[in-house]
Amino acid sequence: MINTNEVLKKYGLKLTKSLGQNFLTDINIIKKIVDVGEVSSSDLVIEIGPGIGSMTAEIAKLAGKVVAVEIDKNLIPALNENLGSFPNVLVVNQDIMKADIKELINGWTGPLKVISNLPYYITTPIIMMLLEGDVPWDILVFMVQKEVALRLAGTPSTKDYSALSIAVRYYSDPKLAFTVSKNCFIPKPDVDSAVVKLKKRELACVQDIDKELFFKIVKASFGQRRKTLLNSLGSQGWLDGGKEHLREVLTKLGIKENVRAEELTIEDFARLCREL
């Protein structure tokens, strides 16, 4: 196991709050995260924000190839040294939001997985970039702020269920794997974390609908979640027929008039989109 404090001292590294740098130091948690990813020798694994390579090394022991994408150029010397004994690791000094991921995985024909302790400040943009893009991933495993993890895996009729929960379910089957204490990091963050696993799947219910309209409906429905769907969605100026048409559609679908967005499943939203 790489000793984080020793590496930071050796290279004179100062962790940057603006980059959300909180390094995981518990080897047991690291191994649990890799286990969640079901990593095997047939996999190419992209790790976003490898830091000094503690988790990268554990992934590299099992994966066919690892591409570690690190935005902080100051960490590259430590990464190269710590991972020098793994010929299957490629260290890339890039911003994952600007990187050409297809180029990074060019030529790989096996499964693609992404495993990452995501920086809190850019968690959702990275996840949505991977979900909505055309990168052919099979499994995504993220350690994120616990509150965000609960939303990612949120289920209907709970306070954590949101437009983000629907977006995640549109592309994948999400599972909350386990929580991680803030005491497992250097420096210690203000909140606990959790690991969530997203397994790619295609839902039959969303295959024949207007995707842009679907997400427009979902976003508007959750925009004022205390209101009924009739009031939150029905008041949108772009909705043909307004509240009266929405009332007719809800009745036709057998959905009660006073329903709130958080009570609807992704299948319900798909049916609603199709009718509207």
The model's pLDDT over 217-240, given as tens digits with 9 standing for 90+, comes to: 999 999 988 899 999 999 999 998
Question: Would you say 53 and 83 are in contact if contact means Cβ atoms under 8 Å apart?
Answer: yes
d(CA 80, CA 270): 48
- Find the helix packing angle between 242-253 and 266-275, rounded to 10°: 120
pLDDT digits 0-9 by tens, 107-161: 999 999 999 999 888 899 999 999 999 899 999 999 999 999 999 999 999 999 9
CA-to-CA separations, 72 to 33, 79, 98, 119, 252, in angstroms, rounded = 23, 11, 14, 12, 55
Q: Which of 120, 213, 199, 131 is nearest to 164 (CA)?
A: 131
Given a cut of 90, whether residue 37 has pLDDT beyond it is yes
Residue 156 is predicted with a pLDDT of 96
For the residues 250-254, what does the mean pLDDT come to? 96
Given a cut of 80, whether residue 28 has pLDDT beyond it is yes
Residue 190 is predicted with a pLDDT of 86
Q: Which domains does the chain have, with CATH numbers?
A: 4-201 (3.40.50.150), 206-275 (1.10.8.100)
β 193-200/172-180 pair status:
antiparallel
For the residues 3-19, what does the mean pLDDT come to? 62
pLDDT digits 0-9 by tens, 157-188: 999 999 999 999 999 999 999 999 999 988 88
**103 residue type, one letter:** E
* pTM score: 0.91
d(CA 49, CA 94): 10
